[in-house]
A and B are shown apart, each in its own frame.
Chain A
């Protein structure tokens, strides 16, 4: 039966082959487009200060609500600020929060999850705490944090991270619980490997594949939550343009100037769509069972 590609053997090959070039080149048209879109958005946001024609904060009473022209590609907003410059610059904070929240949630969740998965006593305590953290809605927490500390990027990242960490912990814990039953882990214990060595060298690498996938989803949802928070006025300070802020300000001018909502909204949708698509692709490559279900 070794010829049938569902065997354990090929599953390992798929996992170990993930980072090799031929596999990466075979990911298909959709994910390739998604990757291109994401790279363009990230570059556009990072390099924004070097190419945007206007200072995104500079107001100009002479050119309020101008239609698109050669000077103002997408027109101007009610304060005469260049919409194109604002939308492009606004991506910086959104992406920073998305990536920041993903990295912090994954790092903290991995640490707690490893401990919960390996030590039986710690497990029951940690998991109860995680259950209660999961019950906190991100938006409510953000509003509370903003009320306490004032609006800032840090507050938003904390607000998004707190409810995400328990999800990561659960994921890591379940992977560790399964992996610790593997004979190679028992063999390592029999060989006299210390607890940290077993944990970090044998068990932790098993969590990387699912964490990459989980990380992309957290990143996408963080960008979205940031936009929602900014739109509600509970996010980043209104002085800094973010996609959510720009949309919030454009709300009252929607009928005269739909571009104020349309352009940042388009960037937000494209960005999240691209990240989710790449996350799905990573999941398919790293978890061959899911891929098979689609065929």
Chain B
């Protein structure tokens, strides 16, 4: 695949960080959060800062913006030079002047970064009013011009819109317009596309590089996604535990990484290449979903409303030991299907047969005895375990509900800890004492404790770092093999789907647009939407784990459903 390969050695240096050390406020002897960061960014360059959560990438960007939370973190050494101005010594008033004019920032969540009660146009204009002495009409004209530059449609209407009336991509465009309106020399982008769908992400990444070209802005781009890095970076720094372990031009880093940690990080990135097909199972279907429909709202007491049809006519079956993936963007209805099958919501129509019992129409009470056949693992490992309960109590809850004695359940819980490779003494601890990946293991153990026939994984690895993600996927695979569980795997990440699914079902706006073996759907998609999804996946042509381009014939084009 094509990497950026422009040489920046002659360009003007915009940001120079030397030996930056940041530690906990008032505790000079505690472990620092950043330990001697060196970083250079030149005009027009995109420098990516990658690393897993807690590696210090966000702290680095906040320090450069002068936005460290004072009561928690402080600069303990080093220098940050922004075009001759020393930021570590700057007074708050100086920093305020620097921000927006010289250095600007965009954040992950554009909804919380925008003021919900002000019109977005006014919010952009406010930046101009604070930092320049343009007249009202001039400021407005400049705002409109900037909104056109970020390719917002129907600019006059959006100028007067409130943040909640815009889509996530449009909000991020507003943030970019706001950040770039004073033509800063450095733009810091902290995971700006992480909360967006892949197709929107692609548009925003394109926009950022277009704006960068037009204004010659240097960009410090913080991300955990190696695919994004491969698409946009000129140079990359890899961070681990507050240090920069490796810094190199993009091609060099992806083809010949020097450090072990970089290798490890790259090797954990799943490929968009589907797994080797497994022999189809002979056994009877574990789950049969027939014409499943879910409509939210609607009906209405006084007047009939349409309601939102979140899922329409969904049909599939899964055999023991096989995995079906449902992929799609947010709002496609994939989680609705998972929740309807788990009967956490009641489907409006259709049949769901699990282990021989039709469950879609059972009452809550009738359903109780059948619950043990199907279990779920949620996305957010921080919220899926009761924070007040010990791990042991969480693991025993299900079996005890189904009549297992406490002693037997405890014994089984101890075995499960071994299965998910956690120490036995973890049983007496509370969830907050574990990392995200460990909690997800506990959640899996809790589901497996019921000896289910069907395991629903609702974005179960989406909140995890890539290396942890790989381990958890491995564990799911293990569990499946050991117990012959059928798995329904909901994900927005095609790479993950490619790694774990036998079959893939693609959903768009509540409708199944494509359904077939993973190899076929991902290698030769027949529907336009599937093709768009695959083409929008960043870095899809690079085999990160093997440091080379992905060896695959180009996906077939032309044929549509």
Contacts and interface: CB of A to CB of B under 8 A. Distances in A.
Interface of A: 1-6, 8-9, 12-13, 15-16, 182-184, 186-195, 197, 202, 205, 295
A190 B376 contact: yes
Contacts of B24: 3
B383 interface: yes
Given A1-B53, A183-B384, A202-B386, A188 B375 contact: no
A186 B378 contact: yes
Contacts of A192: 368-369, 371-372, 398, 401-402, 450
A125 to B, nearest CB: 15
16 contacts: A1-B58, A1-B59, A4-B73, A9-B382, A9-B432, A12-B387, A182-B383, A183-B378, A183-B384, A184-B386, A186-B344, A187-B376, A192-B368, A192-B372, A194-B401, A205-B388
B299 interface: no
B383 A191 contact: no
Contacts of A195: 364
Please classify how large the interface on chain B is, using the bins under 10, 10 to 19, 20 to 34, 35 or more.
35 or more
B71 to A, nearest CB: 6
A131 B33 CA distance: 51
Interface in B65-106: 69, 71-73
B344 A191 contact: no
Contact of B33 (A3, A182, A186, A205): A3
Interface in B376-405: 376, 378-380, 382-388, 397-398, 401-402
A12 B385 CA distance: 12
B342 interface: yes
B529 interface: no
Contacts of B402: 192
B385 A184 contact: yes
Contacts of B54: 1-3
B53 A191 contact: no
A188 B69 CA distance: 37
B441 interface: no
A127 B251 CA distance: 63
B384 A184 contact: yes
B184 to A, nearest CB: 23
B158 interface: no
A3 B376 contact: no
Nearest to A2: B54
B443 interface: yes
B547 interface: no
Contacts of A16: 387-388, 430, 432
A187 B72 contact: no
Nearest to B398: A191
Contact of A188 (B372, B374, B397, B450): B397
A35 to B, nearest CB: 26
Nearest to B24: A3
Contacts of B386: 184, 188, 202
Contacts of A187: 376, 378, 384-385, 443, 446
